[in-house]
């Protein structure tokens, strides 16, 4: 494996020009640290195909240690320097530090990982949608194919962009949550999303208000764009990138996708190129 296990953040494909999570990364795990709904899905596939494993868009590394605990090597890649720094902090002192590698880089260029044949590659919780154009999404899928073992699988988890879901998101300011910190301070999050249905772009603005024990308020904010995809568009992208669709599902229990499904989870295998065994 190209990256030495457990060494912390190693640059794979260059620095991110604009780290959209730099100002808000300390608050990211307030929402996602205890989220485990998808863990059994990935552990189940690990039991089937084994390792090594590659997570693209690993964020603060929520899934890295549980998968390493299953006895496989895993590489986590994210283009945010601040998120990789938090992931490095998370895994320090873990039981299986030697099985985890971290890298900062772009999923559209996995050339530093070409010497590894991953048995499982996955992109969790909408990370794939941070690729803001069809060409970028297709480029990333083609890179995944280059590092995926011939018997490996790819899993992509995005939201299901039904008309009702997009309507609920569009042009509304929302109070999302409030968290109490050990210091006695509190954090409130507000959000606004704008939908561009022509280019299939969601522009998200997040506002984090930190209120200290004395009532002083400090606001941090960021904005980013995601390009949402519908089921058959995602399947077609995968087919063009050299994949065969195993199935499209609507939940982490792999229930059939329906109009009411919140998730769009697509599982795919490599197709054989002429001349391949």
Look at residue 145 and tell me if it is in a domain.
yes
Same domain assignment for residues 100 and 169: no
Same domain assignment for residues 223 and 233: no
Same domain assignment for residues 151 and 62: yes
The pLDDT of residue 11 is: 30
> CA end-to-end span of the chain, whole Å?
23
The pLDDT of residue 56 is: 97
Look at residue 1 and tell me if it is in a domain.
no
Same domain assignment for residues 152 and 170: no
In the numeric block, which tokens belong to residue 144?
Answer: 């995944």
Same domain assignment for residues 43 and 156: yes
H helix or E strand, kind and range, residue 138: helix 134-147
Give the chain's domain count: 2
Same domain assignment for residues 217 and 136: no
Query: What CATH number is associated with residue 200?
Result: 2.20.25.110
30-85: pLDDT as tens digits: 777 778 899 999 999 999 999 999 999 999 899 999 999 999 999 999 998 988 99
Same domain assignment for residues 235 and 249: yes
Same domain assignment for residues 74 and 142: yes
- pLDDT tens series, the chain, 277 aa: 344 344 343 333 333 346 667 777 778 777 777 788 999 999 999 999 999 999 999 998 999 999 999 999 999 999 989 889 989 988 887 677 789 999 999 999 999 999 999 999 999 999 999 999 999 999 999 999 999 999 999 999 999 999 999 999 888 889 999 998 888 889 999 999 999 999 999 999 999 999 888 888 989 888 999 999 999 999 999 999 999 999 999 999 999 999 999 999 999 999 977 445 4
Look at residue 2 and tell me if it is in a domain.
no
Same domain assignment for residues 18 and 65: yes
Look at residue 3 and tell me if it is in a domain.
no
Look at residue 56 and tell me if it is in a domain.
yes
Among 192, 212, 227, identify where a domain stops. Answer: 227
Burial status of residue 145 (CB atoms within 10 A of its CB: 0-12, 13-18, 19 or more): buried
Same domain assignment for residues 50 and 71: yes
Among 192, 209, 227, identify where a domain stops. Answer: 227
Sheet containing 172-180: which strands, arranged edge to edge? Answer: 172-180, 186-196, 201-211, 217-227
Look at residue 277 and tell me if it is in a domain.
no
In the numeric block, which tokens belong to residue 193?
Answer: 């999303």
Look at residue 77 and tell me if it is in a domain.
yes
The pLDDT of residue 235 is: 97
Q: Which phi and psi (to 5°) does residue 44 adopt?
A: -65, -40
Look at residue 276 and tell me if it is in a domain.
no
Domain that holds residue 173: 163-227
Same domain assignment for residues 20 and 143: yes
pTM, to two decimals: 0.88
Helix (H, G, I), strand (E, B) or coil at 37: coil
Same domain assignment for residues 180 and 215: yes
């Amino acid at each position: 494996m190209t990256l030495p296990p457990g060494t912390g953040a190693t640059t794979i494909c260059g620095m991110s020009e604009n780290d959209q999570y730099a100002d808000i990364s300390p608050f990211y795990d307030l929402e996602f640290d205890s989220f485990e709904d998808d863990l059994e899905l990935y552990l189940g596939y690990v039991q089937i195909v084994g390792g090594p494993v590659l997570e693209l868009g690993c964020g603060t590394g929520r899934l890295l240690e549980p998968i390493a605990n299953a006895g496989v090597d895993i590489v986590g890649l994210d283009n945010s320097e601040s998120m990789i720094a938090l992931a490095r902090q998370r895994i320090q002192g873990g039981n299986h530090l030697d099985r985890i590698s971290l890298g900062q880089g772009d999923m559209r260029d996995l050339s530093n990982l070409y010497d590894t044949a991953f048995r499982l590659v996955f992109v969790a919780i909408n990370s794939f949608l941070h690729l803001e154009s069809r060409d970028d999404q297709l480029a990333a899928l083609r890179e995944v194919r280059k590092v995926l073992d011939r018997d490996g699988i790819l899993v992509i988890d995005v939201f299901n962009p039904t008309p009702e879901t997009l309507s609920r998101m569009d042009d509304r300011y929302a109070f999302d949550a409030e968290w109490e910190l050990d210091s006695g301070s509190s954090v409130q999050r507000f959000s606004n999303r704008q939908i561009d249905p022509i280019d299939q772009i969601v522009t998200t603005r997040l506002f984090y208000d930190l209120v200290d024990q004395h009532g002083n308020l400090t606001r941090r904010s960021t904005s980013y764009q995601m390009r949402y995809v519908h089921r058959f568009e995602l399947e077609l992208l995968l087919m063009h990138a050299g994949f065969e669709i195993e199935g499209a599902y609507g939940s982490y229990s792999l229930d059939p996708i329906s109009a009411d499904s919140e998730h769009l989870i697509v599982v795919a295998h490599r197709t054989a190129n002429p001349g391949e065994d």
